[in-house]
């Protein structure tokens, strides 16, 4: 069986659904955070950083609804809820670890490229309306006699 993009990611392909579920920034980060064991919601917020409680809740629900994360509520006072990876969720540990390692190794190169592109865009924005002679591009020059 071939893994060409045209066959794996058709609109009705289960692989496409799986990619859509785990491809969001917060899903990958949440799954990675849970790879070390169960965590409470507040612990995840602190560990992940930058995610709002609402977005984390939505992410956890989506991962739970798709069998990747388990929510366990304990009958205690005060109530305690922990999230952990399911057996299916654990199958993502190695790919996410590899992706994280790649991101660590190449993150600075991506930032440098992004900053260079922004600098080039800013330079182009300052000079874009003018041609080589310093006149507006596409505007005929008229001589005053």
Rounded Cα distance between 91 and 68, Å, is: 9
pTM score of the predicted model = 0.72
Q: DSSP labels for 64-114?
A: HHTTSEEEEEE--SS-EEEEEE-HHHHTTHHHHHHHHHHHHHHHHHHHHHH
Structure confidence by residue, pLDDT tens digits, 47-98: 999 999 999 999 999 999 999 999 999 998 888 999 999 999 999 999 999 9
């Amino acid at each position: 069986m071939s893994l060409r993009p045209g066959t794996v990611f058709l609109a009705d392909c289960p692989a496409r659904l799986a990619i859509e579920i785990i491809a969001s920034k917060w899903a990958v980060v949440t799954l990675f955070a849970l790879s070390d064991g169960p965590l409470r919601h507040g612990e995840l917020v602190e560990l992940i950083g930058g995610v709002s409680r609402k977005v984390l809740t939505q992410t956890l629900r989506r991962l739970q609804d798709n069998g990747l994360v388990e929510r366990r509520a304990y009958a205690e006072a005060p109530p305690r809820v922990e999230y952990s990876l399911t057996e299916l969720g654990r199958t993502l540990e190695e790919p996410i670890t590899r992706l994280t390692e790649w991101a660590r190794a190449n993150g600075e190169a991506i930032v440098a490229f992004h900053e260079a592109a922004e600098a080039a865009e800013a330079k182009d924005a300052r000079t874009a309306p003018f041609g080589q002679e310093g006149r507006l591009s596409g505007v005929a020059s008229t001589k005053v006699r």
